[in-house]
Chain A
Amino acid sequence: MNINRIRATLLQEYYMVQRSLETIVDVFVYPIMNIIVFGFISKFLLGSTDRSVFLSLIVAMLFWQIFSTSQYTISVATLWNMWAHNLTNLFATPTTFLEYFIAHAITALIKALLVFFVGALIAYFQFGYNVVNIPFPLLLVIMINLYLSGIAIGLVLVGFIFAYGTRIQALAWGFISIIQPLASVFYPLSVLPEPFQSLARFLPLTYMFEALRQIISQTAPLPIIHTQLMIGSCITLIYLIISFIIFKYLLAYSKDSGQFAKNDL
């Protein structure tokens, strides 16, 4: 692994973000607007009746941005290179896929933290919730899990786009809308009907958002929250490992079928 080549991809991402209004809007404006609009709707519906549910919704929306920004950054950055017919040029250099994705994972982290920071300020100043109220170790565990889950899903989506071409590119920004209802982001898992409840238990996000709600509403003892986070973290780790295996397989398939090169035409 070579630091300079990671730096080169970071540099490309930096220049591209500067030059692309779409990315700025998609990564920064939409998420922040979502937090604001979602916050006001929640306040209107629940603010005066059930404060803890109201806060859970805002905080869930805030933490959701970590997952969605990470996933979006990993997937769409590669699409930009495909749309520019630059993918072959990139991988005709010594840059490896690992270096390329490490660079995008760093960018994803920076973007996710920026969105989270601005969102947290809005949550504090507009809706009166300070995320620092969440015990720091728990906050960190939840953030890391959401970030890594986003990376894992983003990586698999890029693998599928490499293997099947840009005809499935809509997944890069649309796939999370399938995950969101299933992962019980805004409501307790118990609200979901079976068999979706069982299915949701396979998602690390479900455990993170369940724990988050329990922390905010203080409805569960700490050991139960810890267990939730531990199970979720194990699943995240498994997802991450599986995502690397799937990506490796899809990349090999894409190079074997010739689709990888065709993606650039």
Chain B
Amino acid sequence: MHLLEVKQLVKDFGSFRAVDGISFSISKGSVVGLLGQNGAGKTTTIRMLLGITTPTSGSLSYFEKDFFTHREESLQRINYISSYNTLVGRMSIWENLRVYATMYQIHAPNKKIAELLSYFEISDLKNKIYEDLSSGQKTRVNLVKSLLNDPELVLMDEPTAALDPDIADKTLSLIETWKKEKNLSILYTSHNMQEVTRICDKVIFLANGKIIEQDTPLNLAKKVTKAELILTYEKDPKPAFSYLTDRGISHKHKTPNQLIIQTKEEDIPRIIFDISKTGLWMNDITINKPTLEDFFLQISRKKS
């Protein structure tokens, strides 16, 4: 059963088509990343999925029921978090969460809030005013809000955008653990490719409102054929240079004693072996395999 199914979703703002006939689905327990450059249509898609922006055409269903005719039922079973939307700054954390717990009609709301605050290690902040919190603390409170109703699916729009790497890492760990424990499904947008690679089972790439690729992060990274081989050497590199030049292998110096070779990933073992035969004394070998970020850059540059 699909928790979310989007079919031929289109959004036009006047003559500008922000989302152009996208279709995808999310099944139970899966984490799907929605990626793309700024203006690719990610946020517009999330807003349509929440019903706060009306699609021009297409269909949208949660739990195999049409969203527009089953809005309340659908939203009761999902939740949302974004770094761009906050809770009411003047209210305390407890007050904010109590309001949402009442909205979601949580049974024993005080117990539920206390449990979640404890899980995210912010129980001691419960009486603090929301606007007095740090970005990391706010994100954790927002996460608590997004899990209050035990959602089956959470839409996360760049939840870690405002966080420093350490707090972002901790937040991601908490999301990962929660996901495993509760078999939670997530639709995740982010500009951080490492994050997406880490937590997403599948990635959907948007460009100009269209889906241009969708696959696992690993398979998408594999679509970038060029890998990078960095050799640090001591002795005369001329024979090795001749070898590379003769075979038309792209190479350049990074430092006087460091050579960067760009080639296909599968050719790397052979090149290392051949270079070693030229007598080059290698101190260090680094291989940078293609990542999701390389794929993102490849797509973005192709587009521009």
A contacts, CB < 8 Å to B: 2, 4-5, 7-9, 11-12, 15-16, 19-20, 80-81, 84-96, 252, 255-258, 260-261, 264-265
Q: Show 10 A/B contacts (Cβ-Cβ < 8 Å), sorted by A.
A: A2-B72, A9-B103, A15-B99, A19-B129, A89-B85, A89-B87, A91-B52, A93-B100, A255-B52, A258-B13
B90 within 8 A of A: yes
* A20 to B, closest residue via Cβ: B90
B53 and A94 contacting across the interface, CB-CB below 8 Å: no
* A4 to B, closest residue via Cβ: B105
A88 and B80 contacting across the interface, CB-CB below 8 Å: yes
B283 within 8 A of A: no
Min CB gap A265→B, angstroms: 6
CB < 8 Å: which of B44, B82, B99, B129 contacts A11?
A: B99
Quick one: given A92-B79, A92-B80, are A15 and B103 in contact (CB under 8 Å)?
no
B103 and A8 contacting across the interface, CB-CB below 8 Å: yes
Bound complex: CA of A260 vs CA of B44, how far in Å? 12
A85 and B99 contacting across the interface, CB-CB below 8 Å: no
Quick one: given A4-B102, A7-B102, A92-B79, are A255 and B53 in contact (CB under 8 Å)?
yes
> Which residues does chain B contribute within 8 Å of A255, judged by CB atoms?
51-54
CB < 8 Å: which of A11, A84, A86, A91 contacts B50?
A: A91
B241-259 toward A: CB 8 Å interface, digit per residue (1/0)? 0000000000000000000
B91 within 8 A of A: yes
> Which residues does chain B contribute within 8 Å of A84, judged by CB atoms?
86-90
Quick one: given A16-B88, A81-B88, are A93 and B52 in contact (CB under 8 Å)?
no
Min CB gap B133→A, angstroms: 13
Bound complex: CA of A90 vs CA of B99, how far in Å? 10
Bound complex: CA of A85 vs CA of B95, how far in Å? 16
B102 and A261 contacting across the interface, CB-CB below 8 Å: no
CB < 8 Å: which of A2, A8, A20, A91 contacts B51?
A: A91
B51 and A85 contacting across the interface, CB-CB below 8 Å: no
Min CB gap B161→A, angstroms: 13
Min CB gap A226→B, angstroms: 43
CB < 8 Å: which of A9, A85, A258 contacts B84?
A: A85
> Which residues does chain B contribute within 8 Å of A16, judged by CB atoms?
88, 90-91
